[in-house]
Amino acid sequence: MGLKEFMIENFDCLKYRNFQPIIIEGKTYALKCLNNKDFDYKTIKRIRNEIKTMHNLDHPNIIKLYGISKDRENVIPGTPSSYSDLYRRCWSSYPDQRPSLDQILSELVEIMTFTTVDIITNRISSDYYDYEKK
């Protein structure tokens, strides 16, 4: 079992206090924090400060994590649901479930073509996008 599989299977039961070396396939990994369900403000602040510090260090034994958080923006009222659905799929924890760049662009073109928002109406000719695909 690799680290990815271990984390997928055990994510819900790992807490901050579970900081310990984990040996998977003969390699040791130190998992500091995986699940933030019961963090208080001080713990979150301490972890963020530590991440900032680690970001500035350059050492092969430090795995850098950027932007990994379940804190996501709330959908702004009036946002087309097709757009909010698209960016939520981009946030998937599983890379295989995220849309490809081609899928994202295709869906954005469709949203722009057929979405009316208050005064702004996007009527873009499909001829304009045909040359992009060639």
Residue from 11, 35, 128, 78 nearest 3 by CA:
11
Cβ burial, residue 35 (10 Å; 0-12/13-18/19+) = middle
Count other C-beta atoms under 10 Å from residue 33's C-beta.
20
Q: How high is the mean pLDDT in each 10-residue block of the chain (134 residues)?
A: 63 52 58 59 76 69 53 78 89 83 90 67 54 50
106: CB partners within 8 A, 6+ apart: none
pLDDT for res 70: 53
Asked if 34 and 11 count as a contact pair (C-beta separation under 8 A), the reply is yes
Please give the Cα distance from 60 to 63 (Å, whole number).
8
Whether the full predicted model's pTM is greater than 0.85, yes or no, is no
pLDDT for res 73: 73
pLDDT for res 18: 46
pLDDT for res 43: 74
